[in-house]
């Protein structure tokens, strides 16, 4: 599971050849959520409220890059690093 960004203790990753809808995985202190790229909906799992708010803020800033990495992951191509939230 390649990590494409880390910020405030949160790791953002993709699984190779993952299923639809387009999503990424966010991990924070033992919790993990699968989050839809386009809507920010938590598809599975959970994160603490503050961590989820940070992830959503970051997602909105990087939606295009996330979709590009989603396409790359589906093709098992190398993923691009995405700037962390500061």
pLDDT one-digit tens code per residue, 38-82 = 999 999 999 999 999 999 999 999 999 999 999 999 999 999 999
CB 18 within 8 A of CB 76: no
Predicted local confidence at residue 17, as pLDDT: 75
pLDDT, position 1? 75
Nearest alpha-carbon partner for 65 in 7, 5, 21, 8? 5
- What pLDDT was estimated at residue 18? 83
User: Distance (Å, rounded) from C-alpha 3 to C-alpha 11?
Assistant: 6
Determine the 3-state secondary structure of 30 from DSSP.
coil
Q: Which two tokens stand for residue 63?
A: 């939606």
Chain segment 21-42, per-residue pLDDT in tens: 999 999 999 999 999 999 999 9
């Amino acid at each position: 599971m390649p990590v494409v960004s880390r910020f405030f203790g949160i790791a953002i990753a993709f699984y190779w050849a993952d299923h639809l809808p387009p999503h990424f995985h966010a991990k924070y202190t033992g919790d993990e959520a699968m989050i839809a790229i386009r809507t920010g909906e938590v598809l599975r799992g959970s994160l603490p409220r503050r961590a989820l708010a940070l992830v959503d803020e970051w997602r909105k800033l990087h939606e295009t890059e996330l979709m590009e990495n989603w396409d790359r992951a589906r093709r098992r191509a190398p993923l691009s690093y995405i700037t962390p939230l500061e």
